[in-house]
Each structure stands twice: as structure tokens, then as C-alpha cells.
């Protein structure tokens, strides 16, 4: 009969291997500027970064820390191109009205495309500086180190990380308040995304019931993600040189007004779900606190079998960047 913890450890090994494989598979196309590959690689790098501290707890000498730093480098390298990909997609989505002419939209699109070409060139240079074979070798070293270690030593680290992520959401929401302000809302979005990744890891590694919580976080994250996408495009529109003349100025103002209008609309939709996200964070923090404080074995809890209740009407949600 195998060791009682073998299945759990095998799941951790498989999760690390899968995230590393996702990055390796997307890497060549991402280096060539492929939009989908860039998104896939960036998402996988973020998920791997959330997973590696858990792996480090199980195999402290397996190289997880170094791998995490390199994954962070990759996330940051991919960021500028991904942001421009999203801005171009949002522009196409937001400019169907008659207030802005096609020639004006074409001018914005050309400016964004030129910037994206430069960003892709910079990305190619940065990825060339990271040796992919060395990356794969380090991933294999970590997987080997994990495969040769018995036990569930990573569980307390996962419990602490869940609690930290949940508390960070509460802190970010308190700081953001209820007024519309892009930067504080962006911090709530990032905190929610990291909580979602941590919940997914807990579900996949331990089998705890967290699908309801994950779905709730994703719904709120979609709203906040849309606000961020709109704000990125707003900043780009303000920074480019528009054609001269009163007509051009009017078109620029019309586009900025449309972006602002939807930002406000999405913010209202977020406020309708604000307490839902707060309840998820509180439930997660409460469920993990016993394990963190040592009052019982970590993660021997049932996070949620159903989505927490909320009140308020739902609004329209679109997200060019997606919630991954």
C-alpha cells in the first residue's frame, strides 16, 4: 500500500509540471508577438508564481525561489505587449457609435499598432535574454525534488497563503471605498485575482469545495478587469497626437466620454457585488485561520459548497483581457 500522502504530493508535482509546460509551450509564439500565446504565457506565469511558494515549503532546496523570480521577470516582460493587445481590442469594441468617425478611430488604431510593434521588438529582446532550455531544466529540477519528498509539509504554507490573500482583498476594498478611483480599484482587482488563484490551488491540491467561491471572485474580477482595460485605453488615447482641427478634438472628446461612461457603469456593477467579494474573503480567512494558528490540521475545512449570497442587480460585463 502506498503512503497516505502520495496522492496529494503527486497532485502538487503535476500542478508544477503543468504550469511550467504551459509557459514552455507558449514561449516561442509569444516571442514572435502572438497575442494568444502572450496571454497564455502571462497567465501561466502568474499561476506558477502563486504555486511556487507552496512547492518551496515542500522542497526548500528545490530551486522554487529562483524559478519564481524568473517567472516574475517573464510576467513583467510580457506585460507591455499584453496591455497594448487589450487596448486595441477595447478600441474596436468601444467605437461603434456615430460620435467618432472612422478616420479618427483609424488614427488611434495606427498609433497603438505602432507602439505595439515597438513593444513586441522589446519583448523579443527580453525573452532572448532568458534561456528557455535553462528554464525547462530548472522546472525539471524542482519537479524531481518534489517527487522525492514524502509528506504534506506544504499544507501550512497553502493555508497561510490563502489567509494572506483573503485579508489583502479586505484591505484593498477598505482602501478603495465606494468612490470611483481607478488606481485603488486596480489594486482590488489584483488582490481578487491572486485570491482566486490561491483558491484554485487549494481546490486542485486538497479537493476542498471552493467552486462557488472561485465563481464569485471571477464575476467581480471581470467587472474590475473591464474598468482597468477601459482606463488603459483612456490613457493611451490621451497620450497620442490626434489630427488637428475642431472635428478631431470633438471626436477625441466623444471617445473619452464613452470610455468614462462605461467605467462608471462597470463601477456601479462592482459596487453591487462588492459585499459578495468581501464575503468570499471573510469566509476564506475564517476557514483557514484554524489551520494557520495550529488549532487543527491545515486545510481540513470546507471552504464553500455554494456561492455566498448577495443582493443587487447585475449589470453588463465585458472584458477584453479576460479574467485569467
In the numeric block, which cell numbers belong to residue 142? 524542482
CB atoms within 10 A of CB 231: 18
Residue with cell 465585458: 318
pLDDT along the chain (324 residues), means of 10: 46 91 93 94 95 92 92 94 94 67 77 94 90 90 85 82 95 97 97 96 86 94 95 90 62 84 94 95 82 43 48 43 52
pTM for the predicted model, two decimal places: 0.84
Q: How far is CA 109 from the centre of its chain?
A: 26
Q: How far apart are CA 138 and CA 163, in angstroms?
A: 29
Q: How far is CA 40 from the centre of its chain?
A: 11
| The Cα angle at residue 217 between residues 213 and 219, in degrees rounded to 5 | 120
In the numeric block, which cell numbers belong to residue 69? 523570480
In the numeric block, which cell numbers belong to residue 266? 462597470
pLDDT at 297: 46
pLDDT at 209: 83
Q: Cβ distance 19 to 42 under 8 Å?
A: no
pLDDT at 312: 40
Q: How far apart are CA 291 and CA 300, in angstroms?
A: 8
Residue with cell 478603495: 176
Residue 3, judged by CB atoms within 10 A of its CB (0-12, 13-18, 19+), counts as: exposed
pLDDT at 220: 96
Which letter does DSSP use for residue 250 in this model? Answer: H
Amino acid at each position: 500500500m502506498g503512503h497516505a500522502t502520495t496522492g496529494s504530493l503527486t497532485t502538487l508535482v503535476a500542478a508544477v509540471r503543468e504550469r511550467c509546460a504551459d509557459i514552455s509551450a507558449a514561449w516561442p509564439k509569444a516571442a514572435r508577438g502572438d497575442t494568444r500565446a502572450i496571454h497564455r504565457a502571462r497567465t501561466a506565469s502568474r499561476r506558477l508564481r502563486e504555486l511556487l511558494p507552496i512547492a518551496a515549503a515542500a522542497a526548500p532546496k528545490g530551486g522554487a525561489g529562483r524559478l519564481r523570480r524568473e517567472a516574475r521577470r517573464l510576467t513583467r516582460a510580457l506585460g507591455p505587449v499584453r496591455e497594448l493587445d487589450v487596448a486595441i481590442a477595447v478600441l474596436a469594441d468601444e467605437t461603434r457609435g456615430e460620435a467618432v468617425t472612422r478616420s479618427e478611430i483609424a488614427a488611434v488604431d495606427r498609433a497603438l499598432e505602432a507602439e505595439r510593434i515597438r513593444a513586441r521588438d522589446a519583448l523579443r529582446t527580453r525573452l532572448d535574454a532568458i534561456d528557455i532550455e535553462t528554464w525547462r531544466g530548472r522546472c525539471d529540477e524542482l519537479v524531481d525534488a518534489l517527487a522525492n519528498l514524502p509528506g504534506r509539509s506544504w499544507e501550512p504554507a497553502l493555508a497561510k497563503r490563502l489567509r494572506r490573500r483573503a485579508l489583502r482583498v479586505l484591505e484593498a476594498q477598505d482602501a478603495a471605498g465606494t468612490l470611483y478611483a481607478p488606481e485603488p480599484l486596480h489594486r482590488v482587482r489584483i488582490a481578487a485575482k491572486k485570491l482566486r488563484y490561491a483558491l484554485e490551488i487549494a481546490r486542485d491540491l486538497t479537493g476542498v469545495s471552493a467552486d462557488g467561491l472561485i465563481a464569485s471572485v471571477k464575476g467581480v474580477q471581470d467587472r474590475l478587469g473591464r474598468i482597468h482595460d477601459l482606463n488603459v485605453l483612456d490613457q493611451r488615447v490621451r497620450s497620442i497626437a490626434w489630427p488637428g482641427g475642431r472635428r478631431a478634438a470633438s471626436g477625441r472628446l466623444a471617445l473619452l466620454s464613452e470610455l468614462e461612461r462605461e467605467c462608471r457603469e462597470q463601477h456601479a456593477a462592482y459596487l453591487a457585488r462588492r459585499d459578495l467579494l468581501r464575503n468570499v474573503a471573510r469566509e476564506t480567512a475564517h476557514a483557514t485561520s484554524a489551520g494557520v494558528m495550529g488549532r487543527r490540521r491545515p486545510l481540513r475545512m470546507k471552504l464553500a459548497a455554494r456561492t455566498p449570497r448577495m443582493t443587487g442587480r447585475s449589470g453588463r460585463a465585458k472584458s477584453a483581457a479576460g479574467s485569467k
